[in-house]
Chains A and B, each alone.
Chain A
């Protein structure tokens, strides 16, 4: 246990050295790949290139929300505020990438579907996901960093939110697909992807994944520093006999 912890800490200690070059090169490779290497999609045209951000983003967001769920359980179980920082950091990243998914989807939807937004099942559940975790961040920011009770409340809300996701997906699927739809969605049943596209998509997974990890680590670190600052301030107040 402690050996594993210390190994993890040693690895984590390198984050500032290891992550930036990886993230930088992966994101650059993704951009070049998406804009230059990948062929122009015949039917959709250049707007299809948004897919290379769109699809990896939502996966990164799901990964981040998974981290929020686990970290929140640890907050409730261990009462360790470091995990509160992890949960907040991951939730910020998740909301960011869900937003990116929605935005790229809307940009793609306008030329392809003719509308920026439609109440399709997948769009709706992604939007609800965005709202749940935005509410989480909002609620957590209403109390100060060291407020253990607020951290617990936010963690309970995060657990509720995570367990709500399957129900949301299930219900919007019934809501939309079992209902006559004005707009016929072409969906993902496109023909098998050319190899170049698939390769670029793989690179994009790497780029977005590394970027999400980097941002999550930075955000967590910032949250944790804010907590330590607040603690130090409280200690100074105590020494000054306030």
Chain B
């Protein structure tokens, strides 16, 4: 094991635990991801991947432990933290009765995106939905929903993308686009839960494997200087 670079992790969890009833769905997870890293979160169904992502995206409150993302503690749920993360979840999280343009316009207002129009056009063109921007989202296919969901997740230029099965519903062309825009985008830190183990090689710089809520393999984290330890 090599000595870690002196580098502050952009996302660090400390004994992060989520307990439902008496069952630890996520148990004592401690990872520390450096900025710009791309981590694949793998494990069987029910291993706790989605719950871990939900906690990191502030949707679910941890039972124990904490995490810091871009220097903000999760527990306080600060707006600044939520501004720094983009989330690509199971559900596309889009309003079906609104057009792609209106959807992104709405979320741009929520996030206070400066000069939203050029940003929205840029993203819609990048995900290939620009030509259908005036149609109701409900008539678009599953693949287009996922493309649009990606655009929504990246709209406010987050530092970290948290993704849950990002390849879902995408055709090979869509997957290529996903890699280019998100999974292998320069500068973007990625933590993505995935079943597509065959593709992990193609984009990830490290892997975190969960089993029954616990980390059983971690090639993504950096060693973090312990509190009070001499440099």
Contacts and interface: CB of A to CB of B under 8 A. Distances in A.
Chains A and B bind each other: yes
B23 A79 contact: no
B61 A234 contact: no
Interface string B109-122: 00000000000000
Contacts of A145: 21
A79 B21 contact: no
B22 A228 contact: yes
A230 interface: yes
B87 to A, nearest CB: 19
A227 B21 contact: yes
Contacts of B212: 238
A230 B21 CA distance: 8
Given A238-B46, A238-B212, A81 B21 contact: yes
B61 A146 contact: no
A146 B22 CA distance: 9
A148 interface: yes
Interface string B44-77: 1010000000000000010100000000000000
- Size category of the A interface is 10 to 19
Nearest to B22: A231
Interface string B16-48: 000011110000000000000000000010100
A75 B49 CA distance: 26
A235 interface: yes
B20 A148 contact: yes
Contacts of A234: 20-21, 23
A242 B20 CA distance: 17
B211 to A, nearest CB: 10
Contacts of A235: 22-23
A228 B63 CA distance: 18
B58 to A, nearest CB: 15
A146 B20 contact: yes
B198 to A, nearest CB: 22
Nearest to A148: B20
A231 B61 contact: no
Interface string A207-242: 000000000000000000001101110110010011
Contacts of A228: 22
A162 B223 CA distance: 51
Interface in A8-33: none
B212 to A, nearest CB: 6
A228 to B, nearest CB: 7
Q: Which 6 A-B residue pairs are closest in the complex by CB-CB distance?
A: A146-B21, A231-B22, A231-B21, A234-B23, A146-B20, A231-B23
17 contacts: A79-B63, A81-B21, A146-B20, A146-B21, A146-B23, A148-B20, A227-B22, A231-B21, A231-B22, A231-B23, A234-B21, A234-B23, A235-B22, A235-B23, A238-B23, A238-B212, A242-B46
